[in-house]
Chain A
Amino acid sequence: MAAPWLTRHDPLRADFVASLAPPGTPGHPLGTDQLGRDLLARVLYGARLALLIGVCTVLVTAVGGGLLGLLAGFFERWPSTIVMRLADVQLSFPFILLALTINAIVGLGLRNIILSLSAAGWVVYARVVRGEVLSVKQRDFVHAAAALGVGRGRLLFRHVLPNVAPSLIVVASLQFSQFIVAEAAISFLGFGIQPPTPAWGSMLSESRDFLYVAWWLAAFPGAALALTALGVNLLGDWLRDTLDPKLRV
């Protein structure tokens, strides 16, 4: 988020005189790319983009998938059947292939990459939430509330949802890094975010042409991606252990 304050370079401004400068060059700590754009600036702006995509996708999938799971678990019968069959179908495609194909169909760009990742990723929430709702529903306090005449909507959102929320948060944190890496992979393959926008995936893809002369173009964006994924994974593990001891592996 703080990218504009951390670097004074514009990630898009080209400077051909200074192109392909190695790391450590004065003014360009991580070097420059084939057009002389500052690599540090591009990596930092890339971080902003990756986190934005991660947060948006997690929000969309958590709300959408969570809601579907809630309905499927609460009403059982046909809503449950529909959602679970849909989930079966989605799970019969590998995640990355599904997201990639959807992205190729709906088109490129920021909004569409979030859309395609969400369309491919909501299933996990729906399944986890449905399972949780099924068990929470059997607990005494829900029966008690229903016996007291609490309406179904209120029952669902005031009594069931708060008890499902911890697992929802845990799944969200574990999905977050998957989404970021998937976005980078899709952009890497030439879909998703397009150059010159500084996204880690498309930066890595461009770096392939310069692997013989400029290793740093491939090394730093990828390292940033790996570190982000690592940090988010560790956060997810920690959240799971604190919020939901049942899920501990």
Chain B
Amino acid sequence: MRRYVAARLAQSALVVLLSLTAVFGMVRLGGDPVLLFLPMDIQAKDVNEFRQRLGFNDPLAAQYARFMAGALHGDFGQSLRYRRDALGLVLERLPATLLLAGTSIALTLLIAVPLGLVTAVRRDTLVDHVGTVAMVLGQAIPGFWLGLMLIYLFAVALRWLPTGGTGSLAHLVMPSVVLAAFFSARVARLTRSAVLDVLGEEYITTARAKGLGEGRVIAKHTLRNSAIPIVTLAGLEAGQLLGGAVITETIFAWPGLGRLTVQALLNRDFPVVMAAVSFTSIVYTLMNLAVDLAYGWLDPRVRVRS
């Protein structure tokens, strides 16, 4: 197990370094960075001064070294708009994103796992058909459209909930439902197929044959053995959510990481973009790592194979 953990840690560290390089590359290879960083209506002499100040006149290798050294110390430079530490701005948004992500994941697991389980156990009954249709629909309906429709229904027409922003529990309802709807559909579908796979295994037949009650067969033998794909998908989606739900946060004016990223992109505030994208990538990589380590814990066979 220790070797497995060490190997995965080393690999993740490498991915983080390469991802930071990719962030640098994306911004620098996309043409003259000054044109990206500055508004359109700026004068030539200002452009030159700006270039000098941000060090764009230095050789690319020197710029790269400076970026990497800064990034590894958590220094992505100053926000061009707010004149503040870029990473500080990102971290400031983290609690809001964590709250939204946590609620949506909890909601997803609460809906999706029971739904997947029931549709698999009651296969080819009415429950299964209704559930499966709901899953297919949930996957196809784009989150931002669902968000708009919910705003229309609950905020405009019925006036039950606020259209956006934060502050109370009521503000949290719509964004987390929108996120959970999409992710639940995927997780439930996967749960259903994983449970169906396990139900076909011989040890389930054995468990039934030795007279175990159906409740115990499902709870002890089926669920635990179907856990791996579910944990994988849930972990990956948690990673996505922690990076900020870019679109949902924008629709509901939720002051999280995703909205910060979109605003920074619109404002051409590239130090903040680089900080936010790098941060997301690192969180995402760590989530992948956590999922892989959970694998090793859930299924000892994984440790041996690697």
Q: Are A229 and B281 in contact (CB under 8 A)?
A: no
State whether the Cβ of A104 lies closer than 8 Å to any Cβ in chain B: yes
Q: Are A97 and B149 in contact (CB under 8 A)?
A: no
Query: Would you give the 0/1 interface string for A238-249, flagging 1 where the beta carbon is closer than 8 Å to chain B?
Result: 000000000001
Given known A94-B284, A189-B247, A189-B262, contact A234–B136 (CB-CB < 8 A): yes
> Could you tell me the distance between the alpha carbons of A225 and B136 in the complex, rounded to whole angstroms?
14
Tally of chain B residues near chain A (CB < 8 A): 49
State whether the Cβ of A212 lies closer than 8 Å to any Cβ in chain B: yes
Closest 9 A-B residue pairs measured CB to CB?
A: A222-B145, A230-B140, A105-B30, A229-B140, A249-B193, A104-B265, A89-B18, A218-B148, A92-B281
State whether the Cβ of B70 lies closer than 8 Å to any Cβ in chain A: no
Q: Are A218 and B140 in contact (CB under 8 A)?
A: no
Q: Are B148 and A100 in contact (CB under 8 A)?
A: no
Q: List 25 A-B contacts (CB under 8 A).
A: A85-B18, A89-B15, A89-B18, A89-B19, A92-B288, A93-B280, A94-B239, A96-B247, A97-B258, A97-B280, A184-B142, A185-B144, A189-B246, A190-B266, A191-B265, A204-B148, A207-B148, A215-B156, A219-B152, A223-B145, A225-B142, A226-B141, A229-B141, A229-B142, A249-B189
> Could you tell me the distance between the alpha carbons of A212 and B14 in the complex, rounded to whole angstroms?
50
> Could you tell me the distance between the alpha carbons of A106 and B261 in the complex, rounded to whole angstroms?
17
Q: Are B277 and A97 in contact (CB under 8 A)?
A: yes
The residue in A101, A189, A227, A230 that gathers the most chain B C-beta atoms within 10 A of its C-beta is A101
State whether the Cβ of A71 lies closer than 8 Å to any Cβ in chain B: no
State whether the Cβ of A208 lies closer than 8 Å to any Cβ in chain B: yes
Q: Are A185 and B247 in contact (CB under 8 A)?
A: yes
Q: Which residue of B139, B193, B239, B247 contacts A188 across the interface (Cβ within 8 Å)? A: B247
Q: Are A211 and B142 in contact (CB under 8 A)?
A: no
Residues of A within 8 A of B193 (CB): 249
> Could you tell me the distance between the alpha carbons of A144 and B142 in the complex, rounded to whole angstroms?
49
Number of A-B contacts (CB under 8 A): 118
Residues of B within 8 A of A104 (CB): 265, 273
State whether the Cβ of A102 lies closer than 8 Å to any Cβ in chain B: yes
Residues of A within 8 A of B175 (CB): none
Q: Which residue of B lies closest to A237 (CB)?
A: B136
> Could you tell me the distance between the alpha carbons of A188 and B246 in the complex, rounded to whole angstroms?
11
State whether the Cβ of A181 lies closer than 8 Å to any Cβ in chain B: yes
State whether the Cβ of B250 lies closer than 8 Å to any Cβ in chain A: yes
Q: Are B142 and A222 in contact (CB under 8 A)?
A: yes
The residue in B11, B136, B142, B251 that gathers the most chain A C-beta atoms within 10 A of its C-beta is B142
Tally of chain A residues near chain B (CB < 8 A): 42
State whether the Cβ of A177 lies closer than 8 Å to any Cβ in chain B: yes
Q: Are B151 and A226 in contact (CB under 8 A)?
A: no
Residues of A within 8 A of B145 (CB): 204, 218, 222-223, 225-226
Q: Which residues of B contact A (CB under 8 A)?
A: 11, 14-16, 18-19, 21-22, 26-27, 30-31, 36, 136-137, 139-142, 144-145, 148-149, 151-152, 156, 189-190, 193, 239-240, 243-244, 246-247, 250-251, 258, 261-262, 265-266, 273, 277, 280-281, 284-285, 288
> Could you tell me the distance between the alpha carbons of A212 and B36 in the complex, rounded to whole angstroms?
36
CB distance from B16 to the nearest CB of A (A): 8
State whether the Cβ of A76 lies closer than 8 Å to any Cβ in chain B: no
Q: Are B243 and A97 in contact (CB under 8 A)?
A: yes
Query: Would you give the 0/1 interface string for A47-81, flagging 1 where the beta carbon is closer than 8 Å to chain B?
Result: 00000000000000000000000000000000000
State whether the Cβ of A88 lies closer than 8 Å to any Cβ in chain B: yes
From 179 to 220 in chain A, residues with beta carbon under 8 angstroms from any chain B beta carbon are: 181, 184-185, 188-191, 204, 207-208, 211-212, 215, 218-219
> Could you tell me the distance between the alpha carbons of A235 and B137 in the complex, rounded to whole angstroms?
14
State whether the Cβ of A233 lies closer than 8 Å to any Cβ in chain B: yes
Residues of A within 8 A of B250 (CB): 189
Q: Which residue of B lies closest to A225 (CB)?
A: B142
> Could you tell me the distance between the alpha carbons of A233 and B285 in the complex, rounded to whole angstroms?
28
